[in-house]
Structure 1
Amino acid sequence: MTSHNSFSIYRSVDEDEAALHIEDAPEARKTPTSRSSRIWDLPTWQKIAIAAIVAACVAFILGYLATRRPCAACVTNGPDNEMVSEDYLQQEPKTMDWADLKDLFNQFLKNGQQIESTIRKFSRIPHPSGSLENQNLADDILQQFRNFPVDHTWVESHYATLQFPNRARPNTVKIIGADNETLEVFPFQEQDPYCPYSAVATAKAGLVYVNYGRKEDFVALRSWKVKVTDNLVIVRTGIITFAEKVYNAERAGALGVLIFPDMDRSAVYGHVHLGTGDPNTPGFPSFNHTQFPPFKSSGLPKIPAQAIDKRTALSLLSALDGIEGPSDWRSPNSPSHALGPDLKTRGNLVQLEVNNVERSVELVNVFGSITGRFEPEHYIVVGAQRDSWGPGAAKSGVGTAILLELMRSMTLMVEGGFQPRRSILFVSWDGGDFGSIGATEWLEGYLSMLHLKAATYMSLDTPLLGDEKFVARSSPLFRTLIENIIKQVDNPRQSMQSIYENAKQNGDWNSEVFAPLAVDTGGFAFTAFAGVPALEFSFVKRSNPYKYLDTKYDTYDNLNSLVDNRLPAVALTLAQVAGLSLMKLSHDRILPLDYTAYNTLLLEHLIGLKTYQSKLEPQGLTFSWLYSARGDYVRATDRLKKAIKHSDLQNEKMIQFFNVRIMRVEFYFLSQYVSAINYPYRHILIGRGEHTLDALMEQLGRDQIDTSELHKQIALFTWTLVLCTFDTNRK
């Protein structure tokens, strides 16, 4: 292959300039003049011979130039080579329709054995953030990324302050007698879980059973005259996150929280920071030992929390006195018991002591990218958590295996002719078990440009917890895309039936499949914090859920047993859903996101608000401005839809203009009126804070409304919705 480096090109130019300077010299001008004068002195026959030779040479050169083709080397070298012809640069890329792309992807995807090998490899032993085992896996993934023909690979490090058990002073739960003597100690084994970001404190009080720890559970206890304030609470896992359970308990006045597993005897791991990212640097990226700000996340609890096993929980529950809770509050395989707060032995109290310690840890995110042809500056990001407190077969193993399989398949497709319009960014995130720290710190580092660069995010965290029901947690913008994809993928339990058809058999497929983004995931941070539409999906069991998630028993064999020894096949189905979605997002001319989805969703929310209209009248308030803003939003989306329909979609500048508009839809729902530091989740529909719809609904639901606060909340929500109203001329 012929190549020309910059040195040879510049050298050629210098020689030409030197020749020109020589011809300008007086001595040089004399020589050609004297020689040309001698030609006319030659005999006539010699003149005719010279003319014939010159004419033949000119004819040969003209014929060669008319029929020549670019050299193979020039064409092979591609657009980065200076010798590539203009004809090559103007050639259209090889076009592939959806059927061809789907067939090509399925051809390269059939690699269940590799998926099985990767899951086993990444779930042999625990590999939490900061451990040597996790660092070794990061090195392994980086090497695999480099083995694929991707365009770029790199790593980014963040230094976060994480919380770990104090081996010198272990956390304890005790029964304390009336004379302050220790009557019973419930010991924790060295590998038993803890709750990262718990307050380090000791609390001694009565104990109240609060079911799942939801808001409605605390409301029920209040109606039954069961006192939660100034007491410890014991809560079972499920329904909501650990952080939400502790947050609700703290708001109810509890002094501490004990969390026990609903399904199994093993204690369950879970952080209690109501948010994502490093809570010690809220709103700031933790790059290169960034100077930490003098404040912490408002989502950190002020009360201690500790995970306990089922045996300890049953002992504590059996000691409670007071009224008995309803039957649907009873944990499986648990006898009936009272709700507390008193213990049967009067004067006895429960003491919780948490002594967790903090340590600065380097988190490593691993990146690999495929560059898009027409919109290389727009990225489709797909990521998976790598770390795990336990072996992590379900937590991180399956997601990492699918991530690597997607990268392998996509790079082979590119070699086979697939040319994505947009770039694809594959990421292995660190710090997932501590609240998606790796992903959130990356978002914080590039927050100012993400809504212009990151088109969408696809999360592969915890994608397999069964094989019966497909659940997509996402921004509403993805719903049409997911519906189309699951119509083309077979259900893992029945090959002649699509995932969509299976969902329709079990009721309303829309409610069967779609759910809101989970608050403790990276996908939630992408949308609620950065305004990037996010998608995460999984297969689950309808009954008998996977009881080993976030425990030391989350192994390949246990997960494989849950899906009847078909783990590689089910994981391959998930990879097919992810891969087809990824191809549509990176290949379609217009991003396949339904930017009209919020029209209906906003209407549903406003109908809910309308029921509180009577409470507004005494305050001299109305929702009419809010209704008007929603109407403007609908009209704006209609204008954009018509503009796309009637525009020249062969014009690349026009296509990119429309795609940027679509990319910003979710971003406009981030309130511009609150600080990203005080309220990092600024999304008015799924975020947290005084600017959100939830805060407004909660205020309206109170018996005594804070008029000043209500005015503020209506203004924050309405003004953000007004700014969501985009038109095709806005830039």
Structure 2
Amino acid sequence: MKRSSIEESVMSVPSADLARKWLRHYASTEHMAGTRGDLEMAEFTRDKMQEFGLERAKIVPMDALLSYPIERHIEVVSTDDASQRWSPALEEAILEEDPTSGSRFRNLTFLAYAATGQARGEMVYANYGRPEDFEELEKRGIHVAGKIVLVRYGQCFRGLKIMNAQAFNASAVLIFSDPEDDGFGKGKVYPDGPWRPASSVQRGSAQFNSLCAGDPARAASGFDSKSRCGLERDELIPSIPAIPISYEDVTPLLERLGGPEAPHGFQGGLNLTYRLGPSSGWEATVEVNNTREVKPIWNVIAEIPGSLEADEDQPIVIGNHRDAWVFGAADPNSGSAVLLEVARALGKLVRDGWQPKRTIVLASWSGEEFGLLGSTGWGEANAGGLLKRAALYINTDVGVSGDTFYASASPSVGRAILHAAAVVVNPATGRPLLNDWDASLGTLGSGSDYTVFLDHLGIASMDLRFGASNSFTYGVYHSTYDSYTWIEKEADPTFAHHVALTRLIGVLAVRFSSSAVLPISLADHGAALSRYVDHLGELPKAGSLDLSVLRDAVRAYRESAVTAPLDNDLLGAHERLFLAPEGLPQRPWFKHVLQAPGLYLGYDAKVFPGIDQAVSDGDGALAQSLVARYADLLRSAAARVGRPQASSSLPPQART
């Protein structure tokens, strides 16, 4: 079969009606990782993939440390009159317009891995809970030690807000959704619009995700967290209680804060004056009882074997996580519906006699919401086998939550996305998707399942989605209201964007698995390196940092990349040239020196993250030593690019 006819076939198969059907099923019941609902959805996914012709689809169980809520409680009491007391509801309202909003899970608003315990004391407000926010409080003489800290969602991963609060000796943390960030400050709230209603609560993991991904206990691996992450289990999860709350519930707490008015950057969208605290005259009690227990979770793995011999094969992995905090219609099951349609399209090709050159792996992960447990466990377990020569990981998580296309990727595969977007129609305009996309390519940080593949194993990766035009997130994220009704009403009524994303991933899968030469651009990677070094020079605290040897190394790499022969062994293993076996400072599990989640960000990426963090910390000596170390790494990469050899002769970090 000609590639053009293969692509036409993979584009013709996806169906809006079937994508709707799959999503309706996934979102029909709660399916948190490790629960019966999660297993049922794993069985459904496996059965459908087998039905589509992917006969090798199987469930791959693994044990992992999970965390579930038993009880949580907040009470505020007047220190002058104990009869004056108030407790927030900590539950989400039932909406007549959304038939699944009455789920019992609406009462299970919790943060996984938050410590069991009780804290009592005054409250303070620390904005987004970043280090600089806590430093601002201390600078103003407002001490966090022993206090219950209110912080709002946004700007960094929720677990890192708790990590930062612990560093300042807070006794507990309450994380609230501010309407300025994803509520009425963005537009009409659900069910009248897409944004977060007053009682909506963002659940989530409290793991310290920028330190190490995956199960904090490594229960299934035969290794402990220290050997895998360089850190003990209890260094990766909170030691203090923490609870997520709605902006409806946080309002009375903020109203009870005294102290100075918060600076402009701390003000939010509620109709009140945000103050820093403390809550003079009022004392709060926070109680949390969460389990931490080892339980099985279930990945689903399907392989389409390639025609190349094992020592030449370069597998392409396509993944989406399946587990959700409640119904998970957008996060993640819009992507799950897309994954099933990709499986159906590829399955039809297989039944028609097609075989890719390179093996294609389709993966439905579990445990992502707790901390990328399923993908990380599988990635680590297969690092020396199936993934030893893997060329690409394609991820879709929240596949569809709006109508604007976004892509984040390793720079070397960005051009492949552009070319695929030129042949897929944007359902919103009827033009090629490329015509309506600004062609900007985000840098991958963390927060989804590409993390182990790119940051630990050095496999080029991409993350593809349709989202809101005015926000990174969407209004009902991690709430009971992330439902089929919300998707149908607010995100993709016709399911045309599900079809478009399926087509895009299908085309990419065909091109990467079947092209004579992998569509990976070393020149584009080199151009990105120049931008990364320029960024280092622009850091506010860069000062006297000498980047000359790094610039010279980048120049050498770019010169080699322009003239490099088209060698698949080199192209497929190229990303591994930028792994440092010792990992990044403070977090050795993250081995890619060019990008990683910011140490205090968790989601967003930093480029040359080791150098960036050293500069931010004011450690000029470490920053300069890392410049020299990474310049050596780049010079070695330049030599390999200029003199391609079989993957078996690549440096040790490329043979992980």
Same fold (TM > 0.5): yes
Tell me the TM-score normalised to structure 2 length.
0.83
Structure 1: distance between partners of 2:50 and 2:541? 63
Alpha-carbon distance in structure 2 between the residues aligned to 1:272 and 1:198: 6
Distance 1:667 1:569, change over 3 A: same
Give the match for residue 185 of structure 1. Answer: 87
1:521 maps onto 2:448 in alignment: yes
Residue 423 (structure 2) pairs with residue 488 (structure 1)? yes
The verdict on how the C-alpha distance between 1:218 and 1:717 changes in structure 2, with shifts beyond 3 A counting, is farther
- Alignment pair present for 1:679 and 2:588: yes
Structure 1 distance, partners of 2:340, 2:612, is 43
* Alignment CA distance shift 1:662-1:493 (3 Å): same
Normalising to structure 1: TM-score of the pair? 0.75
Alpha-carbon separation, structure 1, partners of 2:546 and 2:217: 40
Residue of structure 2 equivalent to 1:24: none
| Secondary structure of 1:394's aligned partner | coil
Matched, 1:636 2:560: yes
Quote the offset at 1:127 in angstroms: 0.8
Cα drift, residue 135 of structure 1: 1.1
Match of 2:489 among 561, 581, 606: 561
Deviation at 1:456, TM superposition (A): 0.8
Q: Distance in 2 between matches of 1:106 and 1:178?
A: 66
> Larger radius of gyration, structure 1 or 2?
1
Kindly tell me: are residues 286 and 236 of structure 1, through their superposed partners in 2, closer, same or farther at Cα, counting changes over 3 Å? Answer: same
Residue in 1 that maps onto 2:152: 236
Q: Do the aligned residues in 2 keep the contact of 1:669 with 1:720 (CA within 8 Å)?
A: yes
Cα 1:116–1:338 shift into 2, 3 Å? closer
Q: Which residue of 2 aligns with 1:133?
A: 37
Give the 5 Å matches for 1:441-590: 441-449=377-385, 452-467=388-403, 469-495=404-430, 497-503=431-437, 509-511=438-440, 514-543=441-470, 546-563=474-491, 565-566=493-494, 568-590=495-517
* Secondary structure at 1:204 match in 2: strand
The answer as to 2:361 corresponding to 1:425 is: yes
The percent of aligned pairs where both chains have the same amino acid is 24
Equivalent AA in structure 1 for residue 291 of structure 2:
V
Give the corresponding residue for 2:189.
none
Q: Are the aligned partners of 1:393 and 1:556 in contact in 2 as well (CA < 8 Å)?
A: yes
Instruction: Give the drift of 1:316.
Output: 0.6
Q: Distance in 2 between matches of 1:292 and 1:680?
A: 10
TM-superposed deviation, 1:361: 1.0
Which of 99, 109, 125 aligns to 1:209? It is 125
| Structure 2 CA distance for aligned equivalents of residues 392 and 521 of structure 1 | 15
Q: How much does 1:396 deviate?
A: 2.7
Q: Comparing both structures, which one devotes a greater share of its residues to helix?
A: 1
2:574 equivalent to 1:669: no
- In structure 2, C-alpha distance between the alignment counterparts of 1:524 and 1:290, rounded to whole Å: 19
- Number of equivalenced pairs: 595
CA gap of 1:423–1:297, structure 2 versus 1, over 3 A, is farther
- Deviations 1:500-531, CA, capped at 9 Å, x for gaps: 2223xxxxx243xx222241111122111111
Correspondence for 2:21: 117
Classify 1:712/1:198 alpha carbon distance in 2 versus 1 (closer, same or farther; 3 Å).
Answer: farther
2: CA distance, partners of 1:115 / 1:679: 40
> Offset at 1:218?
4.4
For the residue of structure 2 that corresponds to 1:668, the secondary structure is helix
Q: Quote the offset at 1:160 in angstroms.
A: 0.6
Deviation track 1:256-285 (CA, whole Å, cap 9, x = no partner) reads 32111232321111102122210112xxx7
For residues 579 and 460 of structure 1, the distance between their equivalents in structure 2, rounded to whole angstroms, comes to: 12
Pairwise CA distance, 1:203: 3.0
Q: Take 2:172 and 2:56, find their aligned partners in 1: how far apart are those partners?
A: 48
What does the per-residue CA deviation read over 1:184-233, in whole Å, with 9 as the maximum and x for residues that have no partner?
A: 33354572321112233333333233333345544555665554454332
The structure, 1 or 2, with the larger RCO (C-alpha pairs under 8 Å, 6+ apart) is 2
The code of the aligned residue for 1:286 comes to A
Matches within 5 A, 1:124-163: 124-150=28-54, 152-163=56-67
Q: Does 1:173 align with 2:74?
A: yes
Query: 2:259–2:275: 8 Å Cα contact kept in structure 1?
Result: yes
The structure 1 residue matched to 2:256, chosen from 314, 319, 327, is 319
Q: CA separation of 1:339/1:665 partners in 2, compared to 1, >3 Å: closer, same or farther?
A: farther
SS of 1:356's equivalent in the other structure is strand
**Equivalent position of 1:368 in the other structure:** 302
Letter aligned with residue 200 of structure 1:
T
Q: CA deviation at 1:611?
A: 5.2
- List aligned pairs for 1:28-47, cutoff 5 A: none
Whether 1:304 aligns to 2:241 is: yes
Distance change >3 Å, CA 292–CA 729, structure 1 → 2: closer
- Structure 1 residues 385 and 676: alpha-carbon distance in aligned structure 2, compared to 1, 3 A threshold: farther
**Residue 257 to residue 589, structure 1, CA distance change in 2 (3 Å):** same
Q: In structure 2, what is the equivalent of residue 50 of structure 1?
A: none
